[in-house]
Amino acid sequence: MSIVTTQDGTRIFYKDWGSGQPVVFSHGWPLSSDSWDEQLFFLASQGYRAIAHDRRGHGRSSQPWHGNDMDTYADDLAAVMNALDLKNAVLVGFSTGGGEVARYIARHGTKRVAKAVLVGAVTPLMLKTPSNPGGLPIEVFDGIRAGVLADRSQFFKDLTTPFFGANREGAKKVSQGARDAFWYSGMQVGLKAAYDCVQAFSATDQTEDLKKIDVPTLIVHGDDDQIVPIGAAAQQAAKLVKGSTLKVYPGAPHGLTVTHREQFNADLLAFLRS
């Protein structure tokens, strides 16, 4: 397997397909790089070098007890970028991966980065606070943690319903296979990483991170996202990332890279070529 070893000894698995300008993908919770396979295949077929890694604790990467936080996720991404000596790269982050991309730029700058794409991203802050009244209450995230600890297999099966918008009348139908793939990825996550990552994606304030993004940035979000509601996420992020472009998908759920794959792939390719 293709592996990068970080400073604390964590082994990060990655895929590296095709050749050309590198496009580096960061996945959401509780998924793995497999969730990007259709985009990796599509872009590698279009003359790009498509790369995606499994976040620590997820997929085929190591499952350390420590480091399940946004700073370390960003540093692990940097370890992959540095090991492969990537230059002029486009960073694409979905959900938690969007936070990872923003924190990477804040901590490591854009000397290796040409553009960024935030898809259904958790930025700037999901948790409701006095300064972020549009966020979700702490009880939502406590419920996620409780569900993961009590019966994560059933919890991940149930989560596919709002994730793909399957509870919305008239929504684009997603196959049982796609829902099973989500569950399968979730079951590869170490329990500690699955639990800790909830804190990372919900309570990490990335307002200042977004202000530091100084490359062309595309922000994509569904306006019926039941996991990361657009009001406290993309609509706020677009105000913080200077010169960014916000593209809203009407009726799209959180899992729009699956339900609206052709539209997203076309928009991503157009942004890469712009």
Residues acting as catalytic residues: 95, 225, 254
Residue 93 and residue 123 in contact, taking contact as beta carbons nearer than 8 Å: no
Residue 54 and residue 61 in contact, taking contact as beta carbons nearer than 8 Å: yes
Structural element, H or E, at residue 92: strand 89-94
- Report the distance separating Cα 47 and Cα 24, nearest Å: 14
Residue 30 and residue 1 in contact, taking contact as beta carbons nearer than 8 Å: no
DSSP 25-77: EE--TT--GGGGHHHHHHHHHTT-EEEEEPPTTSTTS---SS--SHHHHHHHH
- Report the distance separating Cα 255 and Cα 32, nearest Å: 14
